[in-house]
A = this chain, B = another copy of it.
Protein backbone atom coordinates (compact mmCIF):
# COMPACT_ATOMS: atom_id res chain seq x y z
CA UNK A 1 0.00 0.00 0.00
CA UNK A 2 1.00 3.63 -0.30
CA UNK A 3 4.13 4.18 1.76
CA UNK A 4 2.52 6.57 4.22
CA UNK A 5 2.09 5.10 7.69
CA UNK A 6 -0.73 7.44 8.74
CA UNK A 7 -2.98 6.63 5.78
CA UNK A 8 -5.66 4.74 7.70
CA UNK A 9 -5.85 7.50 10.32
CA UNK A 10 -6.51 10.13 7.66
CA UNK A 11 -9.07 8.42 5.44
CA UNK A 12 -12.57 9.61 6.28
CA UNK A 13 -15.78 7.80 5.28
CA UNK A 14 -18.04 10.33 3.53
CA UNK A 15 -20.97 10.26 1.11
CA UNK A 16 -18.87 11.55 -1.78
CA UNK A 17 -18.29 9.26 -4.75
CA UNK A 18 -15.25 8.62 -6.91
CA UNK A 19 -15.28 7.13 -10.41
CA UNK A 20 -11.87 6.07 -11.67
CA UNK A 21 -12.04 5.38 -15.39
CA UNK A 22 -8.95 3.46 -16.44
CA UNK A 23 -8.33 3.60 -20.17
CA UNK A 24 -6.07 0.66 -20.90
CA UNK A 25 -2.99 1.68 -22.89
CA UNK A 26 -4.16 5.32 -22.89
CA UNK A 27 -0.90 7.08 -23.72
CA UNK A 28 0.77 7.01 -27.11
CA UNK A 29 3.46 8.50 -29.29
CA UNK A 30 3.27 10.79 -32.32
CA UNK A 31 2.68 9.26 -35.74
CA UNK A 32 5.83 9.89 -37.77
CA UNK A 33 3.83 11.43 -40.65
CA UNK A 34 1.75 13.89 -38.61
CA UNK A 35 3.75 14.45 -35.43
CA UNK A 36 0.55 13.85 -33.48
CA UNK A 37 -0.16 11.08 -30.99
CA UNK A 38 -3.28 8.91 -31.04
CA UNK A 39 -4.95 11.15 -28.43
CA UNK A 40 -3.93 14.27 -30.34
CA UNK A 41 -5.26 12.82 -33.59
CA UNK A 42 -8.56 11.57 -32.20
CA UNK A 43 -11.50 13.97 -32.15
CA UNK A 44 -12.41 13.85 -28.48
CA UNK A 45 -14.55 16.92 -27.76
CA UNK A 46 -15.96 15.49 -24.54
CA UNK A 47 -12.63 14.52 -23.03
CA UNK A 48 -11.16 17.87 -24.09
CA UNK A 49 -14.01 19.84 -22.55
CA UNK A 50 -13.69 17.80 -19.37
CA UNK A 51 -9.95 18.57 -19.29
CA UNK A 52 -10.85 22.25 -19.34
CA UNK A 53 -12.57 21.95 -15.96
CA UNK A 54 -10.27 19.27 -14.55
CA UNK A 55 -6.75 19.31 -13.25
CA UNK A 56 -4.39 17.43 -15.57
CA UNK A 57 -1.04 15.74 -15.28
CA UNK A 58 0.92 12.61 -16.10
CA UNK A 59 1.42 9.39 -14.16
CA UNK A 60 4.57 7.29 -14.17
CA UNK A 61 3.45 3.69 -13.57
CA UNK A 62 6.64 2.23 -12.07
CA UNK A 63 9.79 4.22 -12.79
CA UNK A 64 10.94 6.25 -15.79
CA UNK A 65 11.88 3.76 -18.49
CA UNK A 66 10.13 0.79 -16.88
CA UNK A 67 7.35 -0.68 -19.04
CA UNK A 68 4.63 -2.23 -16.89
CA UNK A 69 2.48 -5.21 -17.60
CA UNK A 70 -1.22 -5.04 -16.82
CA UNK A 71 -0.65 -6.15 -13.23
CA UNK A 72 1.87 -3.48 -12.20
CA UNK A 73 0.04 -0.84 -14.26
CA UNK A 74 -3.23 -1.35 -12.44
CA UNK A 75 -1.88 -2.07 -8.97
CA UNK A 76 0.04 1.23 -9.14
CA UNK A 77 -3.17 3.12 -9.95
CA UNK A 78 -4.77 1.45 -6.93
CA UNK A 79 -1.86 2.74 -4.80
CA UNK A 80 0.00 -0.56 -4.40
CA UNK A 81 3.75 -0.30 -4.96
CA UNK A 82 3.98 -2.39 -8.14
CA UNK A 83 7.45 -3.63 -7.22
CA UNK A 84 6.30 -4.95 -3.86
CA UNK A 85 2.87 -6.15 -4.97
CA UNK A 86 3.80 -8.17 -8.02
CA UNK A 87 1.41 -10.80 -9.35
CA UNK A 88 3.01 -14.07 -10.44
CA UNK A 89 2.61 -14.88 -14.13
CA UNK A 90 0.73 -18.11 -13.47
CA UNK A 91 -1.84 -16.32 -11.32
CA UNK A 92 -2.12 -13.44 -13.80
CA UNK A 93 -2.78 -15.80 -16.71
CA UNK A 94 -5.39 -17.61 -14.62
CA UNK A 95 -7.08 -14.32 -13.74
CA UNK A 96 -6.95 -13.37 -17.40
CA UNK A 97 -9.13 -16.31 -18.39
CA UNK A 98 -11.47 -15.79 -15.48
CA UNK A 99 -10.39 -18.66 -13.22
CA UNK A 100 -11.06 -18.55 -9.49
CA UNK A 101 -7.96 -19.61 -7.59
CA UNK A 102 -8.22 -19.12 -3.84
CA UNK A 103 -6.08 -20.83 -1.18
CA UNK A 104 -4.24 -24.19 -1.57
CA UNK A 105 -3.79 -23.52 -5.27
CA UNK A 106 -0.72 -23.06 -7.44
CA UNK A 107 -0.92 -21.78 -11.01
CA UNK A 108 1.76 -21.89 -13.69
CA UNK A 109 1.79 -20.54 -17.20
CA UNK A 110 2.46 -23.28 -19.75
CA UNK A 111 3.89 -23.13 -23.29
CA UNK A 112 3.73 -25.88 -25.85
CA UNK A 113 7.26 -26.27 -27.22
CA UNK A 114 9.15 -28.51 -29.65
CA UNK A 115 12.06 -30.81 -28.78
CA UNK A 116 14.22 -33.00 -31.04
CA UNK A 117 14.86 -36.74 -30.77
CA UNK A 118 17.36 -36.18 -27.97
CA UNK A 119 14.88 -34.08 -26.04
CA UNK A 120 16.68 -30.81 -26.79
CA UNK A 121 14.59 -27.68 -27.32
CA UNK A 122 14.32 -26.51 -30.93
CA UNK A 123 11.41 -24.06 -30.53
CA UNK A 124 10.23 -22.62 -27.18
CA UNK A 125 6.81 -21.78 -28.65
CA UNK A 126 6.22 -24.73 -30.98
CA UNK A 127 6.07 -22.48 -34.05
CA UNK A 128 3.53 -20.27 -32.26
CA UNK A 129 0.81 -22.80 -33.07
CA UNK A 130 -2.69 -21.37 -33.23
CA UNK A 131 -5.54 -22.12 -30.87
CA UNK A 132 -7.15 -24.40 -33.44
CA UNK A 133 -4.13 -26.69 -33.12
CA UNK A 134 -3.51 -26.24 -29.38
CA UNK A 135 -7.09 -26.61 -28.13
CA UNK A 136 -7.28 -30.39 -28.55
CA UNK A 137 -3.81 -30.70 -26.98
CA UNK A 138 -5.01 -28.77 -23.93
CA UNK A 139 -7.98 -31.16 -23.67
CA UNK A 140 -5.55 -34.05 -23.80
CA UNK A 141 -3.38 -32.60 -21.04
CA UNK A 142 -6.47 -31.95 -18.95
CA UNK A 143 -6.97 -35.72 -18.72
CA UNK A 144 -3.72 -36.12 -16.80
CA UNK A 145 -4.30 -37.55 -13.35
CA UNK A 146 -1.73 -37.28 -10.54
CA UNK A 147 -2.35 -38.98 -7.19
CA UNK A 148 -2.44 -36.52 -4.28
CA UNK A 149 -3.33 -33.39 -6.18
CA UNK A 150 -6.09 -32.06 -8.44
CA UNK A 151 -4.80 -31.10 -11.90
CA UNK A 152 -6.51 -28.67 -14.28
CA UNK A 153 -5.22 -27.48 -17.65
CA UNK A 154 -6.98 -24.47 -19.17
CA UNK A 155 -6.49 -22.99 -22.65
CA UNK A 156 -5.27 -19.41 -22.96
CA UNK A 157 -4.48 -18.63 -26.60
CA UNK A 158 -2.24 -20.06 -29.33
CA UNK A 159 0.67 -21.95 -27.72
CA UNK A 160 -0.22 -20.85 -24.17
CA UNK A 161 -2.11 -22.62 -21.40
CA UNK A 162 -2.49 -22.48 -17.62
CA UNK A 163 -1.72 -25.37 -15.28
CA UNK A 164 -3.60 -25.26 -11.98
CA UNK A 165 -2.72 -27.60 -9.10
CA UNK A 166 -5.11 -27.72 -6.14
CA UNK A 167 -4.41 -29.54 -2.88
CA UNK A 168 -2.90 -29.29 0.57
CA UNK A 169 0.72 -28.48 1.25
CA UNK A 170 1.48 -26.80 -2.07
CA UNK A 171 4.12 -24.10 -2.51
CA UNK A 172 5.08 -22.00 -5.51
CA UNK A 173 8.75 -21.31 -4.99
CA UNK A 174 9.83 -23.18 -8.12
CA UNK A 175 11.96 -21.61 -10.88
CA UNK A 176 10.76 -21.86 -14.48
CA UNK A 177 11.39 -25.05 -16.42
CA UNK A 178 11.81 -22.85 -19.51
CA UNK A 179 15.62 -22.39 -19.93
CA UNK A 180 14.95 -19.31 -22.17
CA UNK A 181 17.35 -20.69 -24.84
CA UNK A 182 17.09 -23.56 -27.32
CA UNK A 183 19.71 -26.26 -27.82
CA UNK A 184 19.44 -27.89 -24.43
CA UNK A 185 16.70 -29.83 -22.68
CA UNK A 186 13.89 -28.20 -20.69
CA UNK A 187 14.73 -27.87 -17.01
CA UNK A 188 13.30 -30.13 -14.36
CA UNK A 189 11.07 -28.45 -11.78
CA UNK A 190 13.22 -27.99 -8.66
CA UNK A 191 11.82 -26.55 -5.45
CA UNK A 192 13.76 -23.55 -4.15
CA UNK A 193 12.49 -24.25 -0.65
CA UNK A 194 11.23 -27.21 1.32
CA UNK A 195 7.57 -26.15 1.29
CA UNK A 196 7.48 -26.34 -2.51
CA UNK A 197 9.01 -29.83 -2.87
CA UNK A 198 5.69 -31.68 -3.16
CA UNK A 199 4.56 -29.22 -5.82
CA UNK A 200 7.79 -29.69 -7.79
CA UNK A 201 7.22 -33.46 -7.75
CA UNK A 202 3.66 -32.98 -9.02
CA UNK A 203 4.93 -30.60 -11.73
CA UNK A 204 7.52 -33.11 -12.91
CA UNK A 205 4.88 -35.86 -12.93
CA UNK A 206 2.72 -33.58 -15.08
CA UNK A 207 5.62 -32.84 -17.44
CA UNK A 208 6.43 -36.58 -17.80
CA UNK A 209 2.78 -37.38 -18.50
CA UNK A 210 2.59 -34.55 -21.04
CA UNK A 211 5.73 -35.83 -22.80
CA UNK A 212 4.06 -39.24 -22.99
CA UNK A 213 0.85 -37.83 -24.48
CA UNK A 214 2.53 -35.43 -26.95
CA UNK A 215 5.83 -37.19 -27.71
CA UNK A 216 4.82 -38.71 -31.06
CA UNK A 217 4.12 -35.26 -32.61
CA UNK A 218 6.54 -33.33 -34.86
CA UNK A 219 5.99 -30.06 -33.06
CA UNK A 220 4.26 -29.10 -29.83
CA UNK A 221 5.61 -32.36 -28.48
CA UNK A 222 6.62 -31.06 -25.03
CA UNK A 223 5.68 -28.37 -22.48
CA UNK A 224 7.49 -25.63 -20.53
CA UNK A 225 6.18 -24.20 -17.23
CA UNK A 226 6.79 -20.64 -15.99
CA UNK A 227 5.70 -18.35 -13.22
CA UNK A 228 4.63 -20.83 -10.55
CA UNK A 229 2.59 -18.68 -8.19
CA UNK A 230 -0.21 -18.54 -5.64
CA UNK A 231 -2.88 -15.89 -5.25
CA UNK A 232 -1.30 -13.29 -2.95
CA UNK A 233 -2.94 -11.90 0.18
CA UNK A 234 -2.66 -8.17 -0.07
CA UNK A 235 -4.00 -5.28 2.02
CA UNK A 236 -7.60 -4.57 1.17
CA UNK A 237 -8.15 -1.46 -0.90
CA UNK A 238 -11.45 -0.72 0.86
CA UNK A 239 -10.01 -1.07 4.34
CA UNK A 240 -6.87 0.92 3.53
CA UNK A 241 -8.77 3.88 2.10
CA UNK A 242 -11.95 3.54 4.16
CA UNK A 243 -13.95 3.00 0.95
CA UNK A 244 -16.62 0.60 -0.22
CA UNK A 245 -15.13 -0.09 -3.65
CA UNK A 246 -16.48 -1.86 -6.72
CA UNK A 247 -14.91 -2.93 -9.99
CA UNK A 248 -16.70 -2.93 -13.34
CA UNK A 249 -14.63 -4.55 -16.07
CA UNK A 250 -15.69 -6.51 -19.11
CA UNK A 251 -12.38 -8.41 -19.31
CA UNK A 252 -11.62 -11.12 -16.76
CA UNK A 253 -8.01 -10.15 -16.03
CA UNK A 254 -8.99 -6.70 -14.76
CA UNK A 255 -11.70 -8.16 -12.58
CA UNK A 256 -9.04 -10.52 -11.27
CA UNK A 257 -6.66 -7.68 -10.44
CA UNK A 258 -9.45 -5.82 -8.66
CA UNK A 259 -10.24 -8.98 -6.72
CA UNK A 260 -6.60 -9.16 -5.58
CA UNK A 261 -7.17 -5.67 -4.14
CA UNK A 262 -10.28 -6.95 -2.38
CA UNK A 263 -12.75 -4.89 -4.41
CA UNK A 264 -16.31 -6.06 -4.91
CA UNK A 265 -16.61 -7.33 -8.49
CA UNK A 266 -19.91 -6.39 -10.11
CA UNK A 267 -21.10 -8.72 -12.86
CA UNK A 268 -21.25 -6.87 -16.16
CA UNK A 269 -21.52 -7.54 -19.88
CA UNK A 270 -18.98 -7.91 -22.64
CA UNK A 271 -18.28 -4.30 -23.58
CA UNK A 272 -18.08 -0.74 -22.27
CA UNK A 273 -21.74 0.00 -22.94
CA UNK A 274 -22.62 -2.87 -20.67
CA UNK A 275 -20.19 -1.51 -18.09
CA UNK A 276 -21.90 1.89 -18.21
CA UNK A 277 -25.28 0.28 -17.59
CA UNK A 278 -23.79 -1.65 -14.67
CA UNK A 279 -22.34 1.58 -13.30
CA UNK A 280 -25.74 3.28 -13.40
CA UNK A 281 -27.49 0.29 -11.84
CA UNK A 282 -25.04 -0.10 -8.96
CA UNK A 283 -24.20 3.56 -8.44
CA UNK A 284 -25.94 3.92 -5.09
CA UNK A 285 -24.21 0.89 -3.58
CA UNK A 286 -20.58 2.03 -3.58
CA UNK A 287 -18.44 5.13 -3.07
CA UNK A 288 -15.59 4.15 -5.42
CA UNK A 289 -15.82 2.61 -8.88
CA UNK A 290 -12.96 1.21 -10.92
CA UNK A 291 -14.32 1.34 -14.47
CA UNK A 292 -12.17 -0.28 -17.14
CA UNK A 293 -12.04 0.57 -20.86
CA UNK A 294 -10.08 -2.04 -22.79
CA UNK A 295 -10.23 -1.50 -26.58
CA UNK A 296 -7.59 1.24 -26.98
CA UNK A 297 -4.84 -1.03 -25.68
CA UNK A 298 -5.56 -3.85 -28.11
CA UNK A 299 -5.43 -1.50 -31.08
CA UNK A 300 -2.12 -0.12 -29.85
CA UNK A 301 -0.67 -3.59 -29.41
CA UNK A 302 -1.78 -4.43 -32.95
CA UNK A 303 0.20 -1.43 -34.15
CA UNK A 304 -2.97 -0.04 -35.71
CA UNK A 305 -2.71 3.72 -35.16
CA UNK A 306 -6.03 4.51 -36.84
CA UNK A 307 -7.84 1.80 -34.90
CA UNK A 308 -6.51 3.19 -31.63
CA UNK A 309 -7.69 6.65 -32.66
CA UNK A 310 -11.11 5.16 -33.43
CA UNK A 311 -11.29 3.34 -30.08
CA UNK A 312 -10.47 6.61 -28.28
CA UNK A 313 -13.18 8.42 -30.24
CA UNK A 314 -15.66 5.70 -29.30
CA UNK A 315 -14.71 6.19 -25.68
CA UNK A 316 -15.15 9.93 -26.05
CA UNK A 317 -18.71 9.47 -27.27
CA UNK A 318 -19.48 7.63 -24.02
CA UNK A 319 -17.85 10.18 -21.68
CA UNK A 320 -21.12 12.16 -21.26
CA UNK A 321 -22.72 9.03 -19.80
CA UNK A 322 -19.93 8.84 -17.22
CA UNK A 323 -20.18 12.56 -16.46
CA UNK A 324 -23.95 12.22 -16.05
CA UNK A 325 -23.41 10.07 -12.98
CA UNK A 326 -22.42 13.33 -11.28
CA UNK A 327 -19.74 11.75 -9.14
CA UNK A 328 -17.92 14.09 -6.79
CA UNK A 329 -14.64 13.04 -8.37
CA UNK A 330 -14.13 11.68 -11.87
CA UNK A 331 -10.64 10.44 -12.66
CA UNK A 332 -9.58 9.53 -16.19
CA UNK A 333 -6.29 7.63 -16.08
CA UNK A 334 -4.39 4.88 -17.86
CA UNK A 335 -2.47 1.88 -16.59
CA UNK A 336 0.36 2.47 -19.09
CA UNK A 337 0.97 3.79 -22.59
CA UNK A 338 0.59 1.56 -25.65
CA UNK A 339 1.96 3.57 -28.59
CA UNK A 340 0.76 2.07 -31.87
CA UNK A 341 4.16 2.75 -33.45
CA UNK A 342 5.69 0.43 -30.82
CA UNK A 343 3.01 -2.28 -31.05
CA UNK A 344 3.51 -2.82 -27.32
CA UNK A 345 3.11 -1.42 -23.82
CA UNK A 346 5.64 1.30 -23.10
CA UNK A 347 7.16 3.25 -20.21
CA UNK A 348 5.92 6.65 -21.33
CA UNK A 349 4.05 8.70 -18.70
CA UNK A 350 0.28 8.44 -19.04
CA UNK A 351 -2.22 11.32 -19.33
CA UNK A 352 -4.37 11.89 -16.27
CA UNK A 353 -7.19 14.19 -15.29
CA UNK A 354 -9.10 14.67 -12.06
CA UNK A 355 -12.43 16.45 -12.21
CA UNK A 356 -14.08 17.77 -9.05
CA UNK A 357 -15.46 21.03 -7.71
CA UNK A 358 -11.87 21.81 -6.64
CA UNK A 359 -10.38 21.44 -10.11
CA UNK A 360 -12.04 24.43 -11.76
CA UNK A 361 -9.78 27.08 -13.21
CA UNK A 362 -6.78 24.77 -13.33
CA UNK A 363 -7.76 22.99 -16.54
CA UNK A 364 -5.97 22.20 -19.78
CA UNK A 365 -7.04 22.91 -23.35
CA UNK A 366 -7.12 19.26 -24.35
CA UNK A 367 -6.70 15.77 -22.96
CA UNK A 368 -3.51 14.47 -24.53
CA UNK A 369 0.13 13.85 -23.69
CA UNK A 370 1.34 17.38 -24.46
CA UNK A 371 -1.44 19.25 -22.65
CA UNK A 372 -1.24 16.97 -19.62
CA UNK A 373 2.51 17.46 -19.38
CA UNK A 374 1.85 21.15 -18.70
CA UNK A 375 -1.09 20.42 -16.40
CA UNK A 376 -1.29 21.66 -12.83
CA UNK A 377 -0.84 18.19 -11.33
CA UNK A 378 2.55 17.82 -12.93
CA UNK A 379 4.12 14.41 -13.31
CA UNK A 380 3.40 12.11 -10.38
CA UNK A 381 4.04 8.47 -9.54
CA UNK A 382 0.90 6.51 -10.38
CA UNK A 383 0.91 5.19 -6.81
CA UNK A 384 0.04 8.67 -5.57
CA UNK A 385 -3.11 8.99 -7.68
CA UNK A 386 -5.40 7.49 -5.04
CA UNK A 387 -4.26 10.11 -2.51
CA UNK A 388 -5.22 12.85 -4.95
CA UNK A 389 -8.55 11.22 -5.76
CA UNK A 390 -9.37 10.93 -2.05
CA UNK A 391 -8.23 14.50 -1.40
CA UNK A 392 -10.44 15.91 -4.16
CA UNK A 393 -13.35 13.91 -2.74
CA UNK A 394 -12.87 15.42 0.72
CA UNK A 395 -11.98 12.01 2.09
CA UNK A 396 -8.51 12.82 3.46
CA UNK A 397 -8.05 14.63 6.78
CA UNK A 398 -5.18 17.01 7.50
CA UNK A 399 -1.88 15.36 8.40
CA UNK A 400 -0.30 16.59 11.61
CA UNK A 401 -1.30 19.56 13.67
Contacts and interface: CB of A to CB of B under 8 A. Distances in A.
Contacts of A401: 69-71, 87-89, 92-93, 227
A222 interface: no
Using C-beta atoms within 8 Å of the partner chain, give the interface range for chain A.
35 or more
Contact of A63 (B31, B70, B86, B387): B387
A233 to B, nearest CB: 18
A391 B347 contact: yes
Given A373-B378, A400-B69, A400-B72, A362 B64 contact: no
B63 A361 contact: no
Contact of A30 (B360, B379, B392, B397): B360
Interface of A is mostly: loop
Counted per complex, copies of this chain come to: 2
Interface in A345-401: 345-347, 349, 358, 360-362, 369-370, 373-374, 376-380, 384, 386-392, 396-401
B69 A398 contact: yes
A82 interface: yes
A137 interface: no
A399 B68 contact: yes
Nearest to A89: B401
A384 B67 contact: no
Contact of A387 (B65, B380, B387): B65
Nearest to A227: B401
A83 interface: yes
A112 B87 CA distance: 51
A362 B65 contact: no
Interface of A: 2, 4-6, 10, 29-32, 35-37, 58, 62-72, 82-83, 86-89, 92-93, 227, 341-342, 344-347, 349, 358, 360-362, 369-370, 373-374, 376-380, 384, 386-392, 396-401
